[in-house]
Amino acid sequence: MLRLTKFLILLPVLTLPLWGAAPALKAEVVMSQIEALRQLAKSRAADGKCRILPAGEADELAAYLARAEIATAGRASVSEVRSAVSLGKALGGGSDCTTHTTDEVRATLDAARQAMAKTKPVPEAEEDEFVEPPVMPERRAIPAPRPRNATLAEYGSQAFAYFVERRCEFLSHRDIRAFWAAVVREHRAALSAYGRRAVVRTVQRAQADADATECGASSRQIVRAEYTKLAGY
């Protein structure tokens, strides 16, 4: 049975900004995020294999995983995020469909629900104090977007391009970091403007559409167009 005590400690940090945190604390938080992200990916893959959760709860778990990826991408390296998700999927896909696996998947979903329920919206005044994570020196600087000028549909297009890029890897390492940092800011802005429920539905649709999209010239153009739009703010 999954030890929920530790997992309940790890999950909330997926959505907490690091205002003025000391370097050592930031390192601990990033490591906790990676561990929680891996667990979410593992449970998502195990559920996909064993069909443990009903459709609604499976979509809910997928949304938590997507949110965790976006949040972690703003603070950890690209390789760390991809490795955590890949390892989690491999572990979950290799799980036997046993009572233990069922208990672990349900415990993960319950822990994610409890963590999200405890998450409070970020006060608008605090947004200006957010400390961006260290990035590569050559990364192109992208100013913070104007939160309420983008519609929910526009955010959906950004999220779709993000998930396509995550799967197809069209951009250079430098551009990926810049793109992901911008998507993280857009995600926070969308949560503030439209609320969690609407954003979760939008992310779910974006991820499903991205999963059904082939990696080719047209999808490359979509990713490049959204990246250029965000870089032009």
DSSP secondary-structure letter at 76?
S
Do the domain assignments include residue 98? yes
At 77, is the secondary structure helix, strand, or coil?
coil
- Indicate if the pLDDT at residue 23 is higher than 70: no
The one-letter code for the residue type at 119 is T
Whether 113 and 180 map to the same domain: the answer is no
Whether 86 and 153 map to the same domain: the answer is no
Task: Give the range of the structural domain holding residue 155, as residue numbers without chain letter.
Answer: 139-231
Choose one of 118, 150, 165: the last residue of a domain: 118
119 closest CA partner among 192, 177, 34? 192
Q: 117-123 long-range contacts, Cβ below 8 Å, gap at least 24?
A: 118/12, 119/12, 119/15, 119/16, 121/191, 121/192, 122/17, 122/188, 122/192
| pLDDT confidence tier of residue 15, bands split at 50, 70 and 90 | very low
For the chain, give the percent of residues with pLDDT over 70: 70
Residue bearing the bigger pLDDT, 189 or 51: 51
Average pLDDT of the chain, as a whole number: 73
Q: Are 164 and 223 in contact (CB under 8 A)?
A: yes
Whether 166 and 209 map to the same domain: the answer is yes
Angle at 118 between CA 112 and CA 124, to 5 degrees: 120
Whether 143 and 114 map to the same domain: the answer is no
Whether 99 and 42 map to the same domain: the answer is yes
Whether 71 and 151 map to the same domain: the answer is no
Q: Could you tell me which residues come within 8 angstroms of residue 18 by beta carbon, excluding any fewer than 6 positions away? A: 25, 26, 29, 75, 130, 131, 133
Whether 113 and 190 map to the same domain: the answer is no
Do the domain assignments include residue 132? no
- Indicate if the pLDDT at residue 31 is higher than 90: no
Whether 104 and 55 map to the same domain: the answer is yes
Do the domain assignments include residue 100? yes
pLDDT digits (tens, 9 = 90+) for 60-114: 898 888 888 877 776 777 777 888 888 888 889 888 999 989 988 998 888 888 7
- Indicate if the pLDDT at residue 178 is higher than 90: no
pLDDT digits (tens, 9 = 90+) for 144-155: 444 445 788 998
Q: What is the pTM of this model?
A: 0.51
Whether 15 and 110 map to the same domain: the answer is yes
Whether 161 and 69 map to the same domain: the answer is no
Whether 108 and 146 map to the same domain: the answer is no
Residue bearing the bigger pLDDT, 206 or 6: 206
User: In the Cβ-directed half-sphere of 109, how many Cα atoms lie within 13 Å?
Assistant: 21
Do the domain assignments include residue 153? yes
Q: Are 71 and 23 in contact (CB under 8 A)?
A: no
Do the domain assignments include residue 125? no
